[in-house]
Structure 1
Amino acid sequence: MAQILLSLHGFHSSPGSLKAKQMSSYLSEFFPDIQFICPQLPSLPEQMWAMVESLFAQHKHDQIAVMGSSLGGYLAAKAAQQYCVNVVLINPAVYPYHLLEAYAGRQVHPYTGDEYQIDQHFMTQLKSLEVPLLSRPEKCWVLLQKEDEVLDYRQAFDKYKQCKISCEEGGNHSFAGFERYLPDIIKFLF
């Protein structure tokens, strides 16, 4: 049985994000047996979730853990609920269907060039992935920074109050100093 760390990036991000690179390097150096998977997520929520489901199906005999940042954190919470796996949520989006209203209309994904619409259908897809309450909060660790310029950390602090939470002063949306947590994240996930 292999150990898999599935990393889910945020809105309009990519597998080339700093956190993904840091985790990938860390695993290569210290835990080469853990396979790191960080796919380029599609633009539409139902396609994002279909990709997550297909990865879980593909690795159904393996031990999978998930880390997700921002919108990827929203998806990781859904994975925790549906597959009962350990997850780390990094500055997770809690109500992305409200947050992304500001992006309504035609979008071009900056990394894939994919053109799509953020409209009511998009928001409905996003809302359908929401997990109101995690049934196994002990499987979730939430990393928050109070100076996140994109999300209000208090939403995640409130929603995930049953979970392990590390909430820091300062910081930013990409979670400054993420590399400090790498050893503890792997311990928690595996």
Structure 2
Amino acid sequence: MSSSILYLHGFRSSPTSFKARLMADAMAERGLAGAWACPQLPASPRQAIDLAMDIARRQLEGAPDPRALTVIGSSLGGFYATWLAEQLGCQAVLLNPAVQAPRDLATQVGEHRMYHSDEPFVFLPEYVDELTAIHAPAITRPERYFLVAATGDEVLDWREMRDRYAGCRQRIVQGSDHGLSDFARWMPEVLEFALGAEPVRPQ
């Protein structure tokens, strides 16, 4: 049974994203705010994964089983979550994950603005190499993974997600979009997987 959650947001996103806020509220309602972490990830994938790894290891301190931690990753965060799960042996929930992040983000080199703050940042060419360095070559122990993939994702191909996480628990959402704007409908199932208990259903 998992007891803590680490949420990793996607490219240009933040801890104030819609899904992250829903999850944070649900954890607080359960009295589990202290078991929730959702950092602002640096643009550098190497720095982002180092930060996430540090937080994950702190969350696992004293835990008898690495599955006491579930890393939930959205989009690029799903790419990171897969790497962490393979390194640590923890659980992972992937929300419309970037399967081929080096390929997909090679087109995004340059200056961008954050979705939720309009703050500028630069995605450097070397960041693509950093992504390549943290690509998990295979999924081991697929029972540790839960994929939520939307067929209406306008950014990433849900079929790549389905195939990458073959053998894992999967919820293929018909329609929806890359941001999973109907996430409140699927969050109870995510919480059930992460916490191993009947979830608090959103109002």
TM > 0.5 fold call: yes
Cα distance in structure 2, aligned partners of 1:175 and 1:112 = 21
Deviation of 1:112 after TM superposition, in Å, equals 7.9
What pairs with 1:90-101 in structure 2 (closer than 5 Å)?
90-101=95-106
Q: Do 1:81 and 1:136's aligned partners in 2 also have CA atoms closer than 8 Å?
A: no
Q: Do 1:144 and 1:167's aligned partners in 2 also have CA atoms closer than 8 Å?
A: yes
* 5+ long unaligned stretches in structure 2: 196-203
* 5+ long unaligned stretches in structure 1: none
Moved more, 75-84 or 59-68: 59-68
Gap change, CA 1:183 and 1:169, over 3 Å in 2: closer
Q: Do 1:9 and 1:41's aligned partners in 2 also have CA atoms closer than 8 Å?
A: yes
User: Quick check: 1:85 aligned with 2:86?
Assistant: no
Q: Secondary structure at the match of 1:179?
A: helix
Cα distance in structure 2, aligned partners of 1:159 and 1:23 = 25
Deviation of 1:33 after TM superposition, in Å, equals 2.9
Q: 1:33 — aligned with what?
A: 32
Q: 1:103 — aligned with what?
A: 108
RMSD: 1.8
Aligned sequence identity (%): 31
Return the letter of the residue paired with 2:3. Answer: Q
Cα distance in structure 1, aligned partners of 2:84 and 2:123 = 25
Cα distance in structure 2, aligned partners of 1:24 and 1:117 = 28
Cα distance in structure 2, aligned partners of 1:187 and 1:90 = 15
Q: Deviations over 1:12-37 (max 9, x none)?
A: 000000001111111222x2135211
Q: TM-score, normalised by structure 2?
A: 0.85
Gap change, CA 1:98 and 1:87, over 3 Å in 2: same
Q: Do 1:43 and 1:114's aligned partners in 2 also have CA atoms closer than 8 Å?
A: no
Moved more, 83-92 or 106-115: 106-115
Cα distance in structure 2, aligned partners of 1:16 and 1:135 = 31
Q: Do 1:107 and 1:118's aligned partners in 2 also have CA atoms closer than 8 Å?
A: no
Please, which of 106, 129, 141 is the counterpart of residue 134 of structure 2?
129
Q: 1:58 — aligned with what?
A: 58
Gap change, CA 1:126 and 1:32, over 3 Å in 2: same
Q: 1:46 — aligned with what?
A: 46
Cα distance in structure 1, aligned partners of 2:57 and 2:26 = 26
What pairs with 1:1-190 in structure 2 (closer than 5 Å)?
3-29=3-29, 31-33=30-32, 35-59=35-59, 60-62=61-63, 63-109=68-114, 111=117, 113=119, 115-119=121-125, 121-190=126-195
Q: Do 1:86 and 1:140's aligned partners in 2 also have CA atoms closer than 8 Å?
A: yes
Q: TM-score, normalised by structure 1?
A: 0.91
Deviation of 1:177 after TM superposition, in Å, equals 1.4
Cα distance in structure 2, aligned partners of 1:115 and 1:172 = 25
Cα distance in structure 2, aligned partners of 1:24 and 1:64 = 15
Cα distance in structure 2, aligned partners of 1:114 and 1:189 = 33
Q: Do 1:43 and 1:109's aligned partners in 2 also have CA atoms closer than 8 Å?
A: no
Q: Deviations over 1:19-77 (max 9, x none)?
A: 01111111222x21352111000110000001011112322224321111000000111
Moved more, 6-15 or 161-170: 161-170
Cα distance in structure 1, aligned partners of 2:77 and 2:157 = 16
